Structure 1
């Protein structure tokens, strides 16, 4: 009998994902009945889900073995009282590579002072603006999950001293790993460039506030491709206005799209990018989804299962 899979994502993604999911499942010996509608919700075995799709109530899907998210973040679904099925977040090679490239690019941009030259093509020969070598530019990573560890290791491979912080103890090659309140303070004090890659939970909401921004070295750069509400916007804007923080490059925001009137758009010390740091790539995402379906059908543990109590 075919494994019954519901694609509950954005309608625009259906024609892209359908052939990729069928192919990835077939490569694992799985025969699937894939559809973007569910005339009989109780007959669905797996739900491929994105919050941008139409599905809002998981209650009727009484036989579903798992909900497989197409997004890395699960804060918009993890607290849903109708969701009783196991929930798996998206972690795949495309997300890791995309995030690593975006983070590395912007860390190098700030480290090399490229804005000074790119934004000031004014005939002035600024030959004194020579950056230090990477080994003299400490970088901090808040969040040592799959994305944070990958980005931190790439930066360490370029010679940056990287300190990483997580709420619970973790280890990652080439990264000086810290945890707990003291570890957070130490990571902030060291980082001339600070990258935020934490999940959004009640514990991390507003983590980078005035008190913690004050721990960063004078003129430090903040880079946030993680979640917008990790930062208290008013506190960051104040620190930027005072020059306490040298620059902020932000890819995620509390409200998206970022409203045209938001002060970030016009601030001379802020770079806005439109939530593009690491989009889900259909080819690699389909492989990750198919692998979890295969594991579920074989009675093996799902990959990247969300801990409801922790929120990710």
Structure 2
């Protein structure tokens, strides 16, 4: 019985060391090194090659290295009956909350504009907004959405939330379903996307949705690049309906050098760093699920494959 690590483009060394420290004697293979595919029952992965896992006849569990699982669920070649798990970690939630708060504050205080003015040696001032006067709408009220809502609420913002199904979140005015989406958007001066990526949420950040936001609204996407229709965003910024955007995720990563986002003065770019998984922080839950698999016990943080999250 072995564990396989598959993370093309990432250095797996820290994961291997953390797993060995947590579970001495665990037999670990790192793709694409030579190994016996029949031995592998548990895979730990991020952005595996599509169709890879159908070559493992005894695979029982595929564990994501992060909070997202769309990089797994969108593979049409997954083995039948395989279970998929995700990471739930306080450090990831805290880091995401800090990221969103920093982008919100950057926007309402105009710090991005002042950075550009410094480069132009331009001395000017403009009025800023205060947290208590700012309405923030969060799309997605899962673990990360709740953490972000709590952080923003503690900093004095008015918080609104929207999810596919009804959810209750402390200090959040919550909406759910398509029928309540318009009312949610009307109260979103800053829109934060933290939705899981599914067939229903792909391309949800589009011109039709942007048009229902208040004039001058600002968009923060820290979920997945496939949520956003890029042309629609730029068009709505350029026509003045949106004031700008902060983007941490993109359809193609790294963002190609020729992409127009790089040169857009009202789009703030970060390279998918809103929250990074620390192997030492999460390895215990991975090993616990490995042991649960061996004992045929229920797995922790298992996703519902039909929902995609």
Q: Pick from 18, 29, 33: which aligns with 1:35?
A: 29
Q: 1:57 to 1:120 in 2, by over 3 A?
A: closer
Match for residue 88 of structure 1?
Answer: 85
Is 1:196 paired with 2:193? yes
Counterpart Cα distance in 2 of 1:123 and 1:167: 46
Match for residue 235 of structure 1?
Answer: 232
Aligned 1:30-179 pairs, distance under 5 A: 32-36=26-30, 37=33, 39-51=35-47, 53=48, 56-78=51-73, 79-84=75-80, 85-121=82-118, 122=121, 124=123, 126=125, 129-179=126-176
Displacement of 1:260: 1.8
Q: 1:11 to 1:211 in 2, by over 3 A?
A: closer
Displacement of 1:73: 2.5
Q: 1:310 to 1:136 in 2, by over 3 A?
A: same
Structure number with the bigger relative contact order (C-alpha 8 A, sep ≥ 6) is: 1
Q: Pick from 282, 286, 298: which aligns with 1:301?
A: 298
Instruction: Give the stretch that moved more between structures: 290-299 or 197-206.
Output: 290-299
- Answer yes or no: is the 8 Å Cα contact 1:57–1:83 preserved in 2: no
Match for residue 259 of structure 1?
Answer: 256
For residues 180-213 of structure 1, the C-alpha deviation after alignment (integer angstroms, 9 at most, x for no partner) is 1132212211111111111111101111211210
Q: 1:15 to 1:207 in 2, by over 3 A?
A: same
Q: How many residues align?
A: 303
Instruction: Give the stretch that moved more between structures: 250-259 or 152-161.
Output: 250-259
Match for residue 4 of structure 1?
Answer: 2
Match for residue 288 of structure 1?
Answer: 285
Unaligned runs of 5+ in 2: none
Counterpart Cα distance in 1 of 2:49 and 2:259: 29
TM-score, normalised to structure 2, is 0.90
Displacement of 1:279: 2.0
For residues 256-304 of structure 1, the C-alpha deviation after alignment (integer angstroms, 9 at most, x for no partner) is 2222222211111111111111222222232331232233344432122
- Answer yes or no: is the 8 Å Cα contact 1:38–1:44 preserved in 2: no
- Answer yes or no: is the 8 Å Cα contact 2:137–2:160 preserved in 1: yes
